[in-house]
Amino acid sequence: MISIDRSFQTADLGDVRVANRAVVLRHVRLHAPCSRADVAARTGLNKATVSSLVGELIDHGLLRETGLTENRVGRPATMLVLDGSRHVGLGLQIGADELVVVAADLAGEPLLTWRRAFAAATAGPEETVRALATLTRRAVTRVTGAGRTVLGLTVGVPGLVDADGAVPAAPALGWRGVPLAAALRRALRDPGFPVGVDTDANLAVSAELRHGPYAGTADLVHLTGGLAVGAGLVSGGRLLRGGRGFAGAIGHLPVSAGPLPTGTEAPACHCGRHGCLAAVAGVDAVVRRLLPDAASHGPVTDYLPEIERIQALARAGDAPVRDGLAEVGRRLGYAISVLVDLLDPEVVVVGGHLAALAPWLLPAARAEVAARTSGPPATVRLEASALGAVASALGGATAALATVEAGQLPAA
Ligand SMILES: [Zn+2]
């Protein structure tokens, strides 16, 4: 019993040191530049503890000293900032018609953002894993060539992701039961850093929480725009994953209830049902609906030019395009009103093509949310994401840095 008690005690002291490291890193991240004395005064840790922790964090390349304070009474103090020069997180994203990789340093600054045309839905899982591995190796070469160490890699997928990083279902990609994390680790031949997989929506809302204009909002939703539509949900400052990690799969909510024009039926969805949110607001659905000629020369594999055509038509006042966008916006608003009733978020941001088309989608969506939410008038803000089409990759890069931010020291 005694030895067990001792081991508990040792573990507890270790845990305290890990937690205290996280406190110091977080303080410096939010308040840099700041002195050791500032950290002690603001965190409640004693000065000797802060000095010891800061020394360790400097040795491991997580903090660095930068100059002395000015305009300050008393002895000048050495200021501390996060050291972005040594450690990097990598994030990848499987988009509708591209793969994206972002490398970000500890301070969250993107070091590289590469986009590569790729149609994962037609390529299939094996070719996608090969392409992800190739892109990763190129990014790792660039990053390590600049003298930095990769701490981890997280891939964002438009579908369901389980705790092992496998993808049980991604209807928009036509994937079922794909052990993505394991396959990518194998393809990278044990790269020496952790390889994780998450939903693109979870990674995107994590990026919003950290980097977007609504960073720090405790009740925040990011709705992805792409072939799939997924919701990343932050409630009370925490990411909601649900029991199996499948929370936020709102893309297959039926939104085509109510009268449809005569002779039409609810659009077919990748999942096999009809009238889902993804079948109305997914990028392929929007392009098909608003640009009936887009697929006249074969399936669309590059959505950006088509979205730009829709923007140009909408700007020019093209009535069918504007009406079509307003109708998509109403259906989108219906889905958002369900989220608002469930979660009562302060802010809902839409990403991908939904952000690109926001000037024409969101007025109708806001009206629908206002009309449909129960209780007092909704005060939720509905806005376009400012993080562009790479939000999930940025979130993936940030996720790879999370263990360090939680106070674990990097191995390197
Ligand atoms: Zn569906």
**10-residue mean pLDDT series, the chain (412 residues):** 42 80 92 91 93 94 83 75 90 96 88 94 96 97 93 96 96 96 96 95 95 93 96 96 94 79 75 93 95 85 93 97 96 95 95 97 96 81 94 93 86 63
Q: What is the pLDDT of residue 365?
A: 97
Q: What is the pLDDT of residue 402?
A: 85
Residues 109, 101 contacting (CB under 8 angstroms): no
Ligand 1 centroid to 252 CA: how many Å?
4
Q: In this predicted model, what pLDDT tens digit does every residue of 258-271 receive, in sequence order?
A: 655 555 678 899 99
Q: What is the pLDDT of residue 412?
A: 54
Q: What is the pLDDT of residue 8?
A: 44
Q: What is the pLDDT of residue 93?
A: 97
49: tokens are: 């503890």
Ligand 1 centroid to 355 CA: how many Å?
21
169: tokens are: 């279902």
- For the chain, first and last CA: distance in Å? 36
Ligand 1 centroid to 329 CA: how many Å?
18
DSSP structural state of residue 267: P
Ligand 1 centroid to 114 CA: how many Å?
30
Q: What is the pLDDT of residue 401?
A: 86
Ligand 1 centroid to 275 CA: how many Å?
7
Residues 191, 231 contacting (CB under 8 angstroms): no
Angstrom CA distances, 48 to 157, 162, 206, stand at 45, 43, 34
Q: In this predicted model, what pLDDT tens digit does every residue of 7-61 receive, in sequence order?
A: 444 456 678 999 999 999 999 988 888 999 999 999 999 999 999 999 999 999 8
Q: Which of 166, 152, 154 is nearest to 245 (CA)?
A: 166
Q: What is the pLDDT of residue 32?
A: 85
Ligand 1 centroid to 242 CA: how many Å?
20
Q: What is the pLDDT of residue 12?
A: 64
Residues 185, 191 contacting (CB under 8 angstroms): yes
Ligand 1 centroid to 267 CA: how many Å?
10
Ligand 1 centroid to 226 CA: how many Å?
14
Ligand 1 centroid to 214 CA: how many Å?
30
Residues 85, 148 contacting (CB under 8 angstroms): yes
Ligand 1 centroid to 350 CA: how many Å?
19
Ligand 1 centroid to 342 CA: how many Å?
20
Ligand 1 centroid to 278 CA: how many Å?
6
| Cα–Cα distance, 346 to 217 (Å, whole number) | 7
**DSSP labels for 144-189?**
HHTT-EEEEEEEEESSB--TTS-EEEETTTTEEEE-HHHHHHHHTT
151: tokens are: 């701490």
Angstrom CA distances, 66 to 82, 88, 206, 208, 405, stand at 10, 20, 29, 29, 20
Q: What is the pLDDT of residue 79?
A: 92
Q: Which helix (H) or strand (E) holds 301?
A: none
Sheet containing 231-235: order of strands: 238-239, 231-235, 220-223, 347-350, 381-384
Q: In this predicted model, what pLDDT tens digit does every residue of 123-176 receive, in sequence order?
A: 999 999 999 999 999 999 999 998 999 999 999 999 999 999 999 999 999 999
